[in-house]
Each structure stands twice: as structure tokens, then as C-alpha cells.
């Protein structure tokens, strides 16, 4: 029987930082219930967590696979990544379908959505097929209306495929050129684009898809480049320093307002181009000998991806509760805490009783004695 999971040592601190960022994403989505736009949303820059995830992904993919291509086929790599990522895509879609149908919010009139349309939307989300105008049940033009965060998995798959087919073959210099070019494109999108931010990618429209692709190309490639040139330094307390930095960076209020959108675009650029690579570098350099910190990092790392994939459907219920009752944040704080804690608990349950067993089965079924990274 294949060993599971992989035997390469983990970067425990990076695992923990991924969990911290995932929790911030949950809070970012909770505050959507009180915002009229990105201009007035609290936990304002939570969307940047996706760029942090992409950088982490590039770094970890390079660590896990860059030295294995002489012994591994592209099809084996794709199988490994599908087995690692897709079980939670499926369960997120199923939970999303149920929660959307029962949320009871007047903002989204479920009575106009037939059972057949909901079934089709759930099936498409489970297969990670983007919704088209005729199959988008929420009415906001999203690729995945039943579980919004799935859009980043769509681009994650694109990044993995590009890595397997092309990017892994790049020399370090060629990879640096790609990172620079994609970074310039993303900075131009952030500073000179129509949003004044890089909160884009969840729709198939031209500007949304362009923004999402630029986010993926820069951050994933930057993470891979960072791995290739990585030389650790001694950093004491790396997890706590980096965790606090992530919380602060993602919680910073909107800058520049509606009149000076470019100001916020500059902030986003500094975050994705400077702060996040630095945090990954520091997190990968840090070593924790404190058993409690190690346990915290391990737990946060384990629940990070399940939490990201299962929390959003419960935002439907929270959103409906807030809107139907016209509640302030203070009045709905117990519900907000319930969503965060309940999502973490559900993520852990899904991990232990669904994700790990399913991945183990699929590994043994389709990869024989190979290991999933």
C-alpha cells in the first residue's frame, strides 16, 4: 500500500500561514454582508489572500516536483494534482447547492431557480466547469455561483498545467523574465485598471478573466522562482511575525477612495510584488522548536484548503440572516463567530472523514504505489 501523504518534510510555518490567510478569507466574505462595494468593505484586502495562496502554491510545487521530472510523466503529475485538489471541489459544490437552495434571502430569489437548473449548476461546479449566462443561478455573472472560491481552483489548475507543459522547463533567468512581465501586467491592471485593485478573476468576462490570469501567472511563477533561488536565513518567531503581517495586510482599509483608485492599486502591487514573496521567504526560512507552535501550524495547514472550499456556502445563510433582519455587525457578531468556528469544525470533519480517505483511495486506485504530494 502506498504511503500517504508524501514523505518529504513539510514547511510547517508555510502550512500555518496558509491557514491564517484562509481564516482571513472567511472574515472577508462575512463583511460582504455590510458592504455596498469594495470601497467600504471592512477586512478590505482579504481578496489578496488568493495571491498569497498562488505564491505558496508555486513555491510548494517547485519543492515537491522540480527534481522529479526524469521519473514522472506529465499524466502522473496531473493525476496527483487532481487527486490532491478535486475531492474538496466536489464537496464544496454539493454543500453550496444545498445552502443556496435553503438560504432564503430576498437578494437571490431562489423561487426562480428550478431544481433542474440547480442540479446542473451543482454538477458543473463539481466538475469545475465555468457557468455560462444560461446556467449562472445567482445572477452575478460568476463562474461558480454555488461556491465562489472555486474560481481560484480553476486558475490553480491552469497554473499546474502550464507548469507541467511549459514553465518547469524554463531556466531560472527565463522564469525571472516571465515573473517580471506578468508582474508589470498585473501592476498595470491594479494601478491603471477600472477597479483600483486586483479583486478579479471570478467571471469569464474579458477584464475579469484577464485579471485572474495575470494574478495566477505572476504569483505562481514568483513562488516557483522564489523556490529556485531560495537560501534560508535564520528567523526567530517567523510564524508569529508572518501571521501578524498577513492579518494586518489583508485588513488594511481601502485606500484612495473612489476619487483616487490608483492609490489602492499601488498598495495591492506592493503586497503581491514585495510583501507576499518576502513573507513566504521568511516563513520558509523559519524553524519552530516550540511544540505548541508546531501543533498550531499543523492544524492550520491541515484545515486551510478544506476551510477555503467549504466556508462560502454558509455565507449565504449568514447574508440572508443579516439582510432579512437588517442587522448591524454588532447585532450579528454571534452569528459571524458561529460561521467562522462552524466552518473550521466542518473543514476538519471533511478533512478527516472525507478528503484524506478519498485521496488515499484514489491514490491507491490510480497511482498504484506512487505518493500524492
Residue 206 pLDDT: 87
pLDDT tens per residue, range 339-358: 999 999 999 999 999 999 99
Q: Where are the beta strands (DSSP E) in 162-321?
A: none
Residue 368 pLDDT: 67
Residue 37 has pLDDT above 60, yes or no: yes
Closest among 202, 221, 53 to 140, alpha carbons compared: 202
CA atoms within 13 A on the CB side of 21: 27
Give CA–CA dist 145/313, Å, rounded. 10
pTM exceeds cut of 0.85: yes
What are residue 200's phi and psi, to 5 degrees?
Answer: -145, 155
pLDDT tens per residue, range 262-298: 999 999 999 999 999 999 999 999 987 788 999 999 9
What are residue 231's phi and psi, to 5 degrees?
Answer: -135, 110
Q: What percent of the chain has pLDDT over 70?
A: 95
Contact indicator for 296, 83 with CB cutoff of 8 Å: no
Residue 4 pLDDT: 42
For residue 241, give the H/E element and its range. Answer: helix 238-251
The average pLDDT across 172-198 equals 97
| Widest distance between CA atoms in the chain | 61
The average pLDDT across 151-170 equals 98
The average pLDDT across 168-189 equals 98
The neighbour count for residue 124, using CB atoms within 10 Å, is 20
The three cell numbers of residue 261 are 483608485
The average pLDDT across 6-17 equals 83
Residue 70 pLDDT: 86
Provide DSSP, 112-144: GS-HHHHHHHHHHHHTTPPPPTTT-SSSS--S-
pLDDT tens per residue, range 63-75: 999 999 988 999 9
Give CA–CA dist 238/231, Å, rounded. 15
Residue 211 has pLDDT above 90, yes or no: yes
pLDDT tens per residue, range 79-101: 999 999 999 999 999 999 998 88
For residue 13, give the H/E element and its range. Answer: helix 12-30
Residue 3 has pLDDT above 70, yes or no: no
Query: What are the distances in angstroms from CA 170 to CA 131, 160, 229?
Result: 33, 14, 14
Closest among 135, 136, 11 to 62, alpha carbons compared: 11
Contact indicator for 310, 91 with CB cutoff of 8 Å: yes
What are the residue ranges spanned by the domains of the chain? 12-364
* pLDDT band, very low/low/confident/very high, at 369 (cuts 50, 70, 90): low
* pLDDT band, very low/low/confident/very high, at 242 (cuts 50, 70, 90): very high
Residue 152 has pLDDT above 50, yes or no: yes
Give CA–CA dist 78/343, Å, rounded. 29
Closest among 213, 202, 220, 99 to 142, alpha carbons compared: 202
For residue 8, give the H/E element and its range. Answer: none
CA atoms within 13 A on the CB side of 45: 27
Residue 111 pLDDT: 74
The average pLDDT across 143-152 equals 95
> Mean pLDDT in the chain?
92
Residue 7 pLDDT: 58
Amino acid at each position: 500500500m502506498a504511503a500517504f501523504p508524501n514523505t518529504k518534510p513539510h514547511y510547517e510555518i508555510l502550512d500555518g500561514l496558509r491557514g491564517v490567510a484562509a481564516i482571513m478569507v472567511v472574515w472577508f466574505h462575512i463583511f460582504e454582508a455590510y458592504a455596498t462595494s469594495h470601497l467600504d468593505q471592512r477586512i478590505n484586502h482579504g481578496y489578496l489572500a488568493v495571491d498569497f495562496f498562488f505564491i505558496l502554491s508555486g513555491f510548494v510545487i517547485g519543492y515537491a516536483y522540480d527534481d522529479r521530472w526524469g521519473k514522472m510523466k506529465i499524466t502522473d503529475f496531473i493525476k496527483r494534482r487532481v487527486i490532491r485538489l478535486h475531492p474538496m471541489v466536489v464537496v464544496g459544490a454539493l454543500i453550496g447547492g444545498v445552502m443556496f437552495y435553503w438560504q432564503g434571502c430576498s437578494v437571490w430569489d431562489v423561487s426562480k431557480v428550478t431544481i433542474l437548473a440547480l442540479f446542473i449548476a451543482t454538477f458543473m461546479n463539481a466538475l469545475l466547469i465555468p457557468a455560462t449566462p444560461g446556467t449562472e443561478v445567482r445572477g452575478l455573472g460568476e463562474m461558480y455561483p454555488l461556491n465562489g472560491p472555486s474560481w481560484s481552483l480553476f486558475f490553480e489548475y491552469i497554473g499546474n498545467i502550464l507548469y507541467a507543459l511549459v514553465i518547469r522547463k524554463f531556466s531560472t533567468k527565463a522564469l525571472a523574465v516571465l515573473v517580471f512581465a506578468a508582474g508589470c501586467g498585473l501592476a498595470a491592471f491594479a494601478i491603471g485598471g477600472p477597479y483600483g485593485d486586483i479583486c478579479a478573476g471570478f467571471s469569464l468576462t474579458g477584464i475579469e478573466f484577464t485579471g485572474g490570469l495575470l494574478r495566477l501567472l505572476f504569483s505562481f511563477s514568483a513562488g516557483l522562482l522564489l523556490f529556485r533561488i531560495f537560501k534560508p536565513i535564520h528567523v526567530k518567531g517567523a510564524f508569529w511575525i508572518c501571521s501578524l503581517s498577513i492579518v494586518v495586510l489583508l485588513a488594511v482599509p481601502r485606500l484612495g477612495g473612489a476619487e483616487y483608485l490608483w492609490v489602492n492599486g499601488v498598495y495591492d502591487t506592493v503586497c503581491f510584488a514585495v510583501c507576499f514573496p518576502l513573507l513566504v521567504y521568511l516563513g520558509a526560512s523559519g524553524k519552530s522548536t516550540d511544540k505548541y507552535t508546531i501543533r498550531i501550524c499543523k492544524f492550520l495547514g491541515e484545515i486551510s484548503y478544506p476551510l477555503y472550499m467549504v466556508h462560502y456556502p454558509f455565507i449565504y445563510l449568514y447574508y440572508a440572516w443579516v439582510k432579512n433582519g437588517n442587522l448591524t455587525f454588532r447585532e450579528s457578531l454571534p452569528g459571524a463567530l458561529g460561521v467562522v468556528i462552524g466552518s473550521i469544525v466542518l473543514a476538519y470533519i471533511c478533512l478527516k472523514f472525507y478528503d484524506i480517505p478519498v485521496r488515499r483511495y484514489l491514490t491507491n486506485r490510480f497511482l498504484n504505489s506512487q505518493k500524492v504530494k
